[in-house]
Amino acid sequence: MVSLERAAPAKAGRAGALRASRLALLALFVGGVAVASSGIFIKLSELPPTATVFHRLFLSAPFLWLWSRWERPRSGLFRPPQGLRDYGELAAAGALFAINAAAWSWCMKYTTVANGSLIANMSPIFVSLGAWVFLRERFSRAFLLGMLLALLGAAALMGGSASMGGEHLTGDFLALTAALFWGGYLLMLQRLRRRFTTATIMTWTSISAAAMLLAASAANGERLIPATAEGWGAILGLALVAQVAGQSLITFALAQLPASFSSVGLLIQPVYAALGAWLVLGEVPEMLQAVGGGVVLGGIVIARRGVR
């Protein structure tokens, strides 16, 4: 009788954990699709790249702040940020995201949505390397094989870009830079989600990243106000769909899923981005892009399986 009484709560706990994991996986999938639309919105924006991505964070900040105010009484085990250490770590995450967002926005100016999305989604490689250095995660020869395949696929994509002109290759390198800083951002989120709610992290990182991007945009002398309704629609879609919905769902998913697994789960992004760019922008993928992209995605999957 005693063993049955003990087993019932344990079974209920496992069932609850399973439901939470499924919900997190769904949030990761939907968030990845929403974030994947960012390249299309950036291409449609009539503002310069840095100004465009500034609006992504600036326009989303009020919604995130209201969410954090509503969420605070229901935060459970989490707490609001306190002291220089908390605010410093949130600002550091915001800085990583700001650099990632700026590199991603500028890469869309030079290369295709498909190429940029595929290369930028090499972040699992950087996440796993960072987890090895900072979190002591281990990986096997499979990781090295997968990493080599992913790099070969990226080289094929960049080779195709080089044949189209130097600007396309510049865009690919910016996408690679975005992948590096996105990997660092994911690792920071994994650390912050142990103490703060999704809304708290999203609010403070968005504020700090927006401040950095505004300063960079002002230094470049960029125009900050769209002139047409279509221009406003592009930056509002970028802010509400890609940032508020997409990034928040991904941040929520990281509460239940490891950062290295989450980054692999987000591989839906380049597939959706390429399809959306084909339908909306008329960017038809070439054979080299399809082959190189398949090698990149396959290499990332193999690399993830090599992480213990």
Whole-number pLDDT of residue 286? 72
Q: Where are the domains of the chain?
A: 40-305
Whole-number pLDDT of residue 210? 92
pLDDT mean by block of 10 residues, the chain; 308 residues: 53 64 81 84 91 90 80 63 86 92 89 78 71 67 73 68 68 87 84 82 88 92 90 92 83 70 66 75 71 72 64
Whole-number pLDDT of residue 145? 77
DSSP annotation of 228 reads S
What digits encode the pLDDT tens for the residues 88-110? 999 999 999 999 989 989 988 88
The one-letter code for the residue type at 36 is A
User: What residues have CB less than 8 Å from 70, skipping those under 6 apart?
Assistant: 199
- Give the three-class secondary structure for 139: strand
Please list the alpha-helical segments (H only) found in the chain.
Answer: 2-36, 38-44, 49-58, 61-71, 83-110, 113-120, 123-134, 141-164, 166-192, 198-219, 229-237, 248-253, 259-265, 268-281, 287-305
Q: How far apart (Å, rounded) are the C-alpha atoms in residues 22 and 28?
A: 10
Q: How far apart (Å, rounded) are the C-alpha atoms in residues 166 and 272?
A: 26
Whole-number pLDDT of residue 288? 67
Whole-number pLDDT of residue 46? 92
Whole-number pLDDT of residue 38? 85
What digits encode the pLDDT tens for the residues 115-151? 777 777 777 677 777 767 766 666 667 777 777 777 7
Q: Is residue 137 within 8 Å of residue 260, measured between CB atoms?
A: yes
pTM metric for this prediction:
0.73
Whole-number pLDDT of residue 149? 76
